[in-house]
Structure formats: C-alpha cells, structure tokens
Structure 1
Amino acid sequence: MSAGSAPSPAAAELHRRAYVADTHNDLLCAVVARPVDRWGSFFGERWVPQLRAGGVELQVLPVFIEDAYRPEGALRRTLRMLEAGRRAAAENADAVRLCLDGADLDAAAESGRIGLVLALEGAHGIGDDVELLETVHRLGVRVASLAHFGRGGFADGSGEDATGSRLTSAGVRAVAEMERLGMLFDVSHLGAAGVGHVLELASRPVIATHSSARALFDHHRNLSDEQLRGIAAGGGVVCANFYAPFLHASDFSVDRLVDHLEHLVSVAGIERVGIGPDFLKEVLAETTPPCCEATEVAGVAADEYLPGLEGPAGLPLLTDALLRRGWREGDILAVLGGNVRRLFRAELGVPSAGRTVGSAGTGAGAFVAPDE
C-alpha cells in the first residue's frame, strides 16, 4: 500500500469479512529464483505477510515459463516451479494449504489458512502432448491456460490475433481432457478466435483468470463483450486484471480499475466477476537483474502500476474504492472472492464422471452452483 493511503474504517471492516480470491499472482517466479533451500522460507517471509495483509484466502499460483526456457527447457522449468510451489506449501503448513478441490478450500478457510491452487500459464512445458495434462494434474495443477502471447502447440495467444487462429486439433482434445480431469480451462491470454472456439466446445464452466474489458480499453489482452457474455452463459467467471497499461492509456488509477469491474458486471452479471490482479512489480524486481532491467512486458511499459495496488497488501483499497462508487456490500463480497469460491467449490478437481452439479454449456442458465 502506498504511503499515506489507507482504506476507510468501513472499507477495512468489510474487507476483513470478505473471502478474497486472487486468481493470478506470478509469485512462483520469484520463489523459484531463490536457492532451493530458501524456497519455503522466502515464500513464508516475503509473500505470506503480504497475502495476509490483503486478506487473501485463495491464491492461484500460475507456472509461467520465461522466454529463456522455451522450448527446450520448458518442461524442466515447469516441474521445478511446481516443486517450488509444493515445497512452499509444505514448509508453511501453518499458514497455507495446497488445495486440489473445493473440500480442501473449505478446510483451508476453516483452519484460518490461505488456500493455494497450482495453475499453468501457457502450458509451454507440455507442447502439444495432451496426455501430459494428466501428469500435471497428478502433480496438483487444477487450472490451465494453453497459450500465452505467442503461438503454441494447442492454440495461438492474443498477441497473434491477426492470424484468426482457432484451437489446433491437440487443443480441441485438451479441452475435453481438462474437462474429464476437472481442471478449469483459463481463457486469459488465448487469442480471440481461440476463445470463441473454446466456448463452442466447453461443456463445463471456464475462467478468465486475469482479463479486463476490451470495450473500455482496446488491448488484445482484454475481452470483448461477446466473449464476456459467452463465459458468463456457461457459468464461468471473468477476473479483472489490475495491470495499469491494460486498463487505460495514461490514467493509471484505481478508479479506472473500478470502471472495468463495473463494465464486466454490466455485461456478465454480478455473479460472474472476480479479481485476478496480476501483481508484477515485486516479481519483476525479484527476477530481473539490475544490469538489464526490463522496461516492457509484451510490448507495454513494465513500470506503470495502480498507486497503492502494486501488491496484495493494497487490496483493501479496492474495497474502499468500490464503496465510494456506491457498490452494495453483497456485490463487493461476491466480486472480491465469493464468485470464484463458488466456482472452485463446484468444479475444481471434480472429474466429469463424478460431477453432481448440472452440466454447463454455453446456453444461459445452464450452470447450477451449490449455495455457499
């Protein structure tokens, strides 16, 4: 939280009552950059206090593979990061719990611990080997996106939108395999045609872990209203990205983030919106040598952040901004994490053969979630 900024007492009290779910924080990149014997202690010393300060009760931990490891080292890097996540959880078992399904999330919350969910961002370590989805599922992965900015074995990322590419044949099989296993399909970073293709194929809800509204800012990393409606109709959730250059060309403020959240709600509905902040400032500082500091991330400036929302500890400021904008308390609680918790409790780690909720297609109203 930036100096001199603090939420109002009412916002702070509401935030304390909230179940906060962050669906995208690349902190594993910073953890794995430390010596192996420091993975657990670094996570406990550096990140657990920040998550606690932000009220986070559910943290999705994506495995992102930097360019330097692609393609030859991508699988080894993926395995190393998954091991780092598992060790971080095991060595901080008093504070966090690695979660494989909704029951684990509930158990974490009941014991006052933060639930951690492993995810793949881009699936670079898999290539186009659909069978390896079951392998990473055994290692604890429960959420996955199959492309990043560029071209992959399953699909093209949003940086390749000009190609108009849909999923590859392997990507089509991957959607079915993820649904069979109970892994949530993440459409963030997927190219526009690929998102449409997934929504045609999906029989279970999908998630956008860190994407905002293209209608407000025309960046390829944001989602169109048509895509928002499609995700919502299938019972999924769209989680807003806080990364400033994806929200506005120059006005990097929490008010612009609230604009995006309000647009997502107006199009997708209050039950279909969450938050996926994509906090980058500290991760980049921890992983980029001073001699060659990155100034861009995928073509946008890497040194612009929302004041006070550079990391998890600032999350109460969002609650404050939503209250000032006139949001109802129940709606704030839903967007901060209630909606994601409901989705994860219903879908996470539940194989298709074992589902007890109604099947979800792309038709509105197809998804039936249990009460919280």
Structure 2
Amino acid sequence: MITRLRPLLAGIACLALASVAVAKPAPSLHERVLTLDTHLDTPASLDLPGWSIMDAHEGDYTQVDLPRMKKGGLDGGFWAIYTAQGPLDPDSTRKARDFAFRRAAQIREMVAAHPDAFVLADKAADAAPIKATGKRVVYLSIENAWPLGDDPSLLEVFHTLGVRISGFAHFRTNQFADSATDKPKWDGLSPLGVQLLAEMNRLGVVPDLSHSSDAALADALRLSKTPVILSHSGCRAIYDHPRNVSDDQLRALAAQGGVIQINSVYLKKGEPNPEREAAMKALEAKYPEGTRLTGEQRAAMLAEWRAIDRLHPETGRATFELFMANVLHALKVAGVDHVGIGADWDGGGGVAGMEDVADLPKVTAALVAAGYSEADVGKIWSGNALRVLAAAEAEAAREAG
C-alpha cells in the first residue's frame, strides 16, 4: 500500500513546492507607500533626439525613465514645465509662452502615447488609484512663471492642461517675484506676483516658492489662502545658501500648513576644480541650454562630456548621507507633516550614492532606520504634498461658490 502511495505523495510534494516557488513575495514598505517626487525636470529629455521615456538609459546623464522608475519604485510626481529666464520684453515672453505650451503638450503626448504606463492626474485623490493600476502618476508643474508675461490669467490655460503646482521666479528676478539668487527689485512678490498668487488660489494651483527670495516666501505665507510648497529646496542649517531656507522659515512654513520638498542639490560648497569648470563652461557655450540638437550633435556632446569626466573628474561631491541629513533636519524642525521629497532629478539633482531614481529605496530605508513609521514614510513620500494640493482644490471650490 505504501509503495503504491509513494508516486501520489511525491506529486503532492511537487505541487506544494511549485506553489511556493510562484508565490509573490510580500511588497516592501517602499513598494507599499505612494512615492511622488514634486520636481521632475525630465520633460526636458523629451526633446532629446531618439530619447524615449520607455527605454532604460545609461551614460547619457539623464536620471528618470520608466525602467528606472520601476526599479526605484517611483510612482510618479510633478513633471515640470521649466523655462530658463530671459528678457522681460513682450516678444521674449511670447516666445517663452509658446515654448511652455509646447512643453506641456510634450508631457501630455508622453502620457497619450503610453497609456499602459502613464496616467494624467487631475486631483489629489487620483494618485493612489493610479498607483493601484501599476501605472505612473503625471501631474504638471510650472518652474518659473515668466512665460505668463503680464497676464496672470493665462495660468488658467495651463491649469486646464494639468498644471497643479506653479512657481514664481527662477535664478533671476522677473515680473512676478524676486529670485533667491538675484538682486531684489520688488522686496518680495511684485504687484503682479500678488495677482498671480490670487489666481493660483482661485484655480486650485499650489503656490511654489522654491527659487523665490526670502521676502517673497514671507509674502506668500502671509497672503496665500492655501498652504504653499517649496517643491525642491533645502535647509540652511545644512548648507548656508540662498536657495535653502532657515529654521525660522521652516517653522513658519509648517505653521501655515505648507511643505518643504527636500532637493539633492544645495548640500555643500563645491570644491574648486578650475579645469573642469572651464571645460564645462565651454561645453555649455557650444551647446546652449534650450538648443534642439540633432542625433549627431547630441552624440558629439555626450562624447565631449564623458571626456571631461575622464580628464577632470568631479571632486568632493555631496553624498547620500548628506542628503539624508538635510531630510532629517527638516523633519526635526518642521515636523513629519511638513516635509517631502523633490530631488530635482534631471535638473541638477543626484548625489554620490543616489545617482538616479533607481536608488530611491535607500531613502525609505534610511527613514525607517531613523525611526519613522510606515505612516510617516507615506506622508513624506506623497501624503504631505497631496494634502496641500487637496487644500488648494478645496479653496478653488469655495471661491467658485
């Protein structure tokens, strides 16, 4: 009898082993939480010849694509319409407006071309259901409101296109606000900037004060009917730089209900490297920002960039540990309800040990090691930013009557 049962028992054992082999492992904490970055400069890559968001890219100095988003567990974020600051004359702002519309169209075309991978989000409540489908979340944002010219009401068109966060200025003072890195003209927000802030509140667009001056941040905290965001900023206690904010500003931001999204750029003073600086300056002059390159030109530019890296390698780069010190300091001062991540990917972000979005699980692991709970991590990775967006939506609904 036992002899006759052996084949049956062996078959049952094989089935049991097979079921164990195909069983999916439980998702990690990083996989469970909704992970959004509030400042992705990746839309600039959509202009690159032959470049696709669907392909894995190595050695081309980009930091975000779908394969790396999957590897790093990045569920999406706010994809920036970035326009480098130029003159304030009407002809220049019209050209900037047209560029910004084209960039918004490129982001939407990326989503439309890959409906199995990306979904355009409209409301704060949309993000979690999109994640549940395994697709990536796409909100739009504006970095630098210069393309609006002298017409804040133009923001309504961008809102219709999907913009849910908007900044005021960039590296230079413009018609809306003083820049943190330029000579002040308005002592904060300009009269036109105050109008733009009111339009943001009316539409449900979150005001973004990254790149704007201390005085502009103070004006926004005082005047905005909704919490504001710093979509990619840092802490002066870690590195005293105008693009970072003080502990007093962190406390004021938290008191107003706002959020600072920590970037990975302004973490330490760069070490002098004159040969590299001269070579990179020459490269940038040869291939100016915003130039649309052919495939051959881009290949040549990349070859020259790699040669610079070989001959004059970067020295004294900021590290992942310093990035996390920035995050943890903001959490200590502002509190867990007022801190998130906006690393400035494809816009200058990245540190030694966190080179692109494939490395993002390290952030979650470091937060857990520092004692933060899964609920805390969820707030940091998306909950806080989405709370601010939901508050903007509520104010817009209230004003609409």
TM-score normalised by the chain length of structure 1: 0.79
C-alpha distance in structure 2 between counterparts of 1:242 and 1:86, whole Å = 27
Q: Does 1:127 align with 2:149?
A: yes
Q: Does 1:63 align with 2:93?
A: no
Residue 267 (structure 2) aligns with = 247
With over 3 angstroms needed to count, the CA separation of the structure-2 counterparts of 1:34 and 1:79, relative to structure 1, is farther
Q: Does 1:31 align with 2:46?
A: yes
Q: Does 1:318 align with 2:363?
A: yes
Residue 298 (structure 1) aligns with = none
Residue 21 (structure 1) aligns with = 36
With over 3 angstroms needed to count, the CA separation of the structure-2 counterparts of 1:108 and 1:66, relative to structure 1, is same
Which SS does the other structure have where 2:28 is aligned? helix
Residues 296-307 of structure 1 correspond to what in structure 2 (within 5 A)? Answer: 305-307=350-352
Q: Does 1:104 align with 2:126?
A: yes
Deviations for 1:297-330, whole angstroms, at most 9, x for unmatched residues?
Answer: xxxxx6x841232211110111223333444443
Residues 85-234 of structure 1 correspond to what in structure 2 (within 5 A)? Answer: 85-160=107-182, 165-234=187-256
Unaligned runs of 5+ in 1: 1-11, 284-301, 357-372
Letter matched to residue 38 of structure 2: T
Which SS does the other structure have where 1:248 is aligned? coil
With over 3 angstroms needed to count, the CA separation of the structure-2 counterparts of 1:121 and 1:183, relative to structure 1, is same
Q: Does 1:332 align with 2:352?
A: no
Report the aligned-residue RMSD: 2.5
Contact 1:209–1:276 (Cα < 8 Å) also in 2: yes
Residue 44 (structure 1) aligns with = 54
CA-CA distance at 1:352 after TM superposition: 4.2
Residue 268 (structure 1) aligns with = 334
CA-CA distance at 1:346 after TM superposition: 4.2
Residue 257 (structure 1) aligns with = 323
CA-CA distance at 1:93 after TM superposition: 1.1
Residue 342 (structure 1) aligns with = 387
With over 3 angstroms needed to count, the CA separation of the structure-2 counterparts of 1:17 and 1:103, relative to structure 1, is closer
With over 3 angstroms needed to count, the CA separation of the structure-2 counterparts of 1:332 and 1:162, relative to structure 1, is same
Which SS does the other structure have where 1:97 is aligned? strand
With over 3 angstroms needed to count, the CA separation of the structure-2 counterparts of 1:257 and 1:235, relative to structure 1, is same
CA-CA distance at 1:165 after TM superposition: 2.0
TM-score normalised by the chain length of structure 2: 0.73
Number of aligned residues: 318
Instruction: Using the TM superposition, name which of 211-220 and 108-117 deviates more.
Output: 108-117
CA-CA distance at 1:211 after TM superposition: 0.5
C-alpha distance in structure 1 between counterparts of 2:233 and 2:71, whole Å = 24
C-alpha distance in structure 2 between counterparts of 1:355 and 1:239, whole Å = 29
CA-CA distance at 1:17 after TM superposition: 1.6
CA-CA distance at 1:215 after TM superposition: 1.8
Contact 1:100–1:349 (Cα < 8 Å) also in 2: no
State the structure with more CA Rg: 2
CA-CA distance at 1:341 after TM superposition: 3.1
